[in-house]
Chain A
Amino acid sequence: MTNVFDAFSGAATSLTGPLPDPSTDAGWSAEHPKRVGFFTDTSVCIGCKACEVACKEWNLVPDDGTDASDTYRLTGMSYDNTGDLGSSTWRHVAFIEDVRPHGSATPAHGGQQTGFLPEGLPAVYGNGSSSPRDAVTEPPGGGTVDLLALLPDGGAHGQQTPDDERDVRWLMASDVCKHCTHAGCLDVCPTGALFRTEFGTVVVQDDICNGCGYCVPSCPYGVIDVRESDGGAHKCTLCYDRLGEGLEPACAKACPTKSIQFGDLDELQAAADARLAELHSRGVHEARLYGRDPDDGVGGDGAFFLLLDEPEVYGMPPDPVVTTRDLPEMWRNAALTAVGLGAAVVAAFWGGRR
Chain B
Amino acid sequence: MGHDTNTEMPERYRGRGRGGNREQLQVPEAEFRSYYGRPIIKAPVWKNPDVPLYLFLGGLAATSAGLGAMGGATGRPTLRRTGRLAAAGGAIGGTVFLVHDLHRPSRFLHMLRVFKPTSPLSVGTWILSPFATFAAATAAAEIAEPVLRRRGARGLARLLRRAGDASGVASAVVGPALGTYTAVLFSNTAVPTWHEAHRHLPVVFAGSAAAAGGGMGLVGASVRDNVPAARLAVAGAAVELVAGEVMERQLGLLGDVYQKGRAHTLMRASKACLAAGAVGTVLGRRRRWSAALSGLALMAGSALTRFGVFDAGIASANDPAHIVVPQRERIRRRQETTATPSDRTTPPDRAFA
A and B pair up? yes
- A334 at the binding interface (Cβ < 8 Å): yes
Q: Would you call A344 an interface residue if the criterion is a C-beta within 8 Å of the partner chain's C-beta atoms?
A: yes
Query: How far is B180's CA from A340's CA once the two chains are assembled, in angstroms?
Result: 10
Tell me whether A312 and B35 are in contact in the complex, defined as CB-CB below 8 angstroms, given that A191-B114, A333-B202, A334-B184 are known contacts.
yes
B33 within 8 A of A: yes
Give complex CA distance A190, B103 in Å.
14
Query: Given contacts A9-B116, A217-B317, is CB(A330)–CB(B190) below 8 Å?
Result: no
Using Cβ atoms and an 8 Å threshold, which residues of chain B touch A78?
A: 36
Which of B39, B45, B320, B352 has the most CB atoms of chain A within a 10 A radius of its CB? B45
Q: Is A264 an interface residue (CB 8 A)?
A: no
How far apart sit A5 and B188, CA to CA, in the bound complex (Å)?
Answer: 15
A316 neighbours in B (Cβ, 8 Å)? 40
Residue B52 is within 8 A (CB to CB) of chain A in the complex: no
For the complex, is B22 an interface residue (Cβ under 8 Å from A)?
no
Is there contact, CB below 8 Å, between B116 and A190?
yes
Contact of B63 among A220, A289, A345 (CB under 8 A): A345
B330 interface contact, C-beta 8 A = yes
A254 adjacent to chain B (CB < 8 Å): no
Which of A1-33 touch B at CB < 8 Å? Answer: 4-5, 8-12, 15
User: Whose C-beta in chain A lies nearest to the C-beta of B114?
Assistant: A192
CA distance in complex: A289, B177 (Å): 43
Contact yes or no, B348 A285, CB < 8 A: yes
A222 touching B63 in the complex, CB below 8 Å, given contacts A192-B113, A309-B349:
no
Q: Which residue of A lies closest to B346 (CB)?
A: A288
Whether B103 lies near A211 (C-beta < 8 A) is yes
A interface secondary structure, majority: loop
A319 interface residue (CB < 8 Å to B):
yes
Take A84-B38, A323-B190, A330-B198 as given contacts and tell me if A345 and B66 are in contact as well, using a CB distance cutoff of 8 Å.
yes
Q: How far is the CB of A335 from chain B (nearest CB, A)?
A: 8
Interface set of A (CB-CB < 8 Å, partner B): 4-5, 8-12, 15, 64, 66, 70, 75, 77-78, 83-84, 86, 94, 96, 100, 104-106, 184, 187-193, 208-214, 216-226, 228, 231-232, 276, 285-290, 292-293, 309-310, 312-320, 323-324, 326-327, 329-331, 333-342, 344-349, 352-354
With A75-B36, A288-B345, A315-B40 known, 8 other A-B pairs at CB within 8 A are A70-B1, A104-B352, A211-B102, A212-B102, A330-B198, A334-B177, A345-B176, A354-B227
Q: Sample 24 A-B pairs with CB under 8 A, ordered by A number.
A: A10-B114, A66-B1, A84-B39, A96-B35, A184-B190, A188-B119, A188-B121, A190-B121, A212-B103, A217-B43, A226-B45, A285-B349, A286-B349, A312-B35, A315-B34, A318-B328, A330-B120, A330-B188, A338-B177, A341-B176, A341-B179, A341-B206, A341-B209, A353-B76
